[in-house]
């Protein structure tokens, strides 16, 4: 167990995390404004507890514009009754509530990207304070955390479950087993160097010794029923597997294709401003050097369209959603089969 983040949280709740039963409340984050001098930011939370057992922490709305997990957890909080459970389920369907209300990845209050701010600050901006509460209070109660993401407004994603490889082979094997129980079509094993590095919820959970599963379930700022069903079924299967919902009715998981992101060459970036015409779609297999499409300069005829080429071979797991792209925007992310290279 590493050092917990410094400082006492200012976020409070009327929930008693040790009380059996089902309780709904808010995490109340003090935020004083012109229009609400003594106001709090109300972050919804449900605690379902029945006696002794593991604690599962279920999170969506870490990024506000990723919706499948928000709906899956909203349903779960209504469906599960304390008599179904052994142990405790903590459900937060809208963790960065201001970002969820705004339909944005970042919080409009501080432009905070919650999943880049862990372990957070007790007396920081609202988004830093949420990260700190998760790190210092929620993770210290949890045996497992499932953090449900999707591609958000700027990316489309193939549905997948993601883990960071463990510190030991046994830890990695345990995570892969849980990913296979979750049953998203693709299971992505990360070495922790991509995306948010050490500042994500899954990274801080791993540092604190809490098992962490993450998902990507759709994207483009829309809602995928397929992605939501994968999240719902996956959560029930994992909760049953760890004994928190021992009698849940679940189907056996479909086969999971284990894949990885093989270095920086897996990402393709826009070199110029332009309108993106992709030549491949999610789920396509591509070869190194193959065309991924064109960027058409908005200046028109005097400038040539820029052809995009892949630096390596792989499966298209993710592509940019908005047509307009600027230099540095990620257009594609590729994954490759584990053990393939």
Please tell me whether residue 104 binds Zn ion under the rule CB under 5 A: no
Tokens for 144, please give them. Answer: 């497992």
Binder of Zn ion out of 29, 44, 58, 63 (CB under 5 A):
63
Closest CA to 109 of 44, 40, 60: 40
- Which of residues 96 and 233 has its CB atom nearest to Zn ion in the complex? 96
Q: What's the min distance (Å) between Cβ of 169 and Zn ion?
A: 28
- Which of residues 244 and 261 has its CB atom nearest to Zn ion in the complex? 261
Q: What's the min distance (Å) between Cβ of 115 and Zn ion?
A: 6
Q: What's the min distance (Å) between Cβ of 152 and Zn ion?
A: 6
Residue with tokens 């007790």: 122
Q: What's the min distance (Å) between Cβ of 216 and Zn ion?
A: 8
Mention every residue, 6+ apart, whose C-beta is less than 8 A from residue 65: 99, 103, 104, 105, 152, 153, 221
- Which of residues 122 and 282 has its CB atom nearest to Zn ion in the complex? 282
Q: What's the min distance (Å) between Cβ of 128 and Zn ion?
A: 17
Binder of Zn ion out of 22, 149, 237, 241 (CB under 5 A):
149
Segment interacting with Zn ion (CB under 5 A) among 63-71, 260-268, 270-278, 322-330: 63-71
Please calculate the CA angle 158-160-162 and round it to the nearest 5 degrees: 140
- Which of residues 241 and 320 has its CB atom nearest to Zn ion in the complex? 320
Closest CA to 155 of 340, 333, 339: 333
Check residue 89 and report its DSSP letter.
E
Segment interacting with Zn ion (CB under 5 A) among 48-56, 145-153, 245-253, 318-326: 145-153
- Measure the CA–CA gap between 293 and 331, rounded to whole angstroms: 10
Q: x/- binding map, residues 64-83, to Zn ion, per CB under 5 A? A: --x-----------------
Segment interacting with Zn ion (CB under 5 A) among 93-101, 146-154, 161-169, 234-242: 146-154
Q: What's the min distance (Å) between Cβ of 144 and Zn ion?
A: 19
Q: What's the min distance (Å) between Cβ of 224 and Zn ion?
A: 14
- Measure the CA–CA gap between 96 and 103, rounded to whole angstroms: 11
Segment interacting with Zn ion (CB under 5 A) among 119-127, 144-152, 158-166, 239-247: 144-152
Q: What's the min distance (Å) between Cβ of 68 and Zn ion?
A: 11
Residue with tokens 């284990």: 258
- Which of residues 66 and 329 has its CB atom nearest to Zn ion in the complex? 66
Mention every residue, 6+ apart, whose C-beta is less than 8 A from residue 248: 84, 236, 237, 239, 240
> Pairing between strand 55-60 and 87-92?
parallel
- Measure the CA–CA gap between 60 and 32, rounded to whole angstroms: 25
- Which of residues 9 and 206 has its CB atom nearest to Zn ion in the complex? 206
- Report helix, strand or coil for 115: helix
- Which of residues 127 and 312 has its CB atom nearest to Zn ion in the complex? 127
Tokens for 269, please give them. Answer: 């970036």
- Which of residues 41 and 95 has its CB atom nearest to Zn ion in the complex? 95
Closest CA to 182 of 236, 143, 261, 225: 236
Residues at the interface with Zn ion (CB under 5 A)? 63, 66, 149
């Amino acid at each position: 167990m590493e050092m917990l983040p410094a400082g006492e949280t200012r976020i409070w709740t009327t929930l008693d995390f040790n009380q059996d039963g089902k309780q709904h409340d808010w995490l109340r984050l003090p935020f004083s404004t012109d229009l609400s001098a003594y106001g709090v930011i109300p972050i919804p939370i449900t605690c379902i507890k029945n006696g002794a057992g593991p604690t599962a922490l279920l999170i969506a709305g870490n990024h506000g514009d990723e919706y499948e997990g928000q709906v899956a957890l909203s349903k779960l909080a209504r469906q599960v009754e304390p008599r179904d459970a052994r142990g405790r389920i903590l459900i937060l369907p809208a963790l960065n509530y201001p970002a969820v209300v705004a339909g944005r990845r970042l919080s409009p209050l501080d432009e905070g990207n919650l999943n880049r701010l862990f372990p957070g600050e007790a007396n920081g901006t609202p988004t830093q304070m949420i990260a700190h509460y998760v790190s210092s209070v929620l993770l210290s109660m949890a045996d497992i955390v499932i953090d449900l993401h999707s591609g958000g407004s700027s990316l489309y994603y193939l549905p997948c479950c993601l883990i960071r490889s463990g510190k030991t082979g046994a830890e990695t094997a345990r995570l892969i087993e849980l990913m296979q129980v979750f049953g998203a079509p693709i299971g992505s094993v990360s070495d922790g160097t991509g995306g948010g590095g050490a500042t994500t919820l899954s990274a801080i959970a791993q540092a604190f010794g809490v098992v962490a599963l993450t998902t990507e379930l759709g994207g483009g700022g829309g809602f995928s029923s397929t992605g939501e069903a994968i999240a719902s079924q996956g959560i029930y299967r994992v909760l049953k597997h760890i004994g928190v919902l021992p009698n849940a009715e679940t189907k056996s998981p479909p086969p999971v294709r284990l894949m990885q992101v093989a270095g920086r060459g897996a990402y393709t970036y826009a070199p110029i401003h332009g309108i993106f015409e992709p030549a491949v779609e999610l789920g396509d297999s591509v070869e190194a050097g193959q065309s991924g499409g064109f960027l058409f300069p908005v200046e028109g005829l005097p400038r040539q369209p820029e052809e995009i080429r892949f630096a390596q071979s792989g499966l298209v797991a993710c592509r940019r959603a908005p047509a307009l792209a600027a230099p540095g925007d990620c257009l594609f992310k590729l994954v490759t089969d584990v053990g393939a290279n």
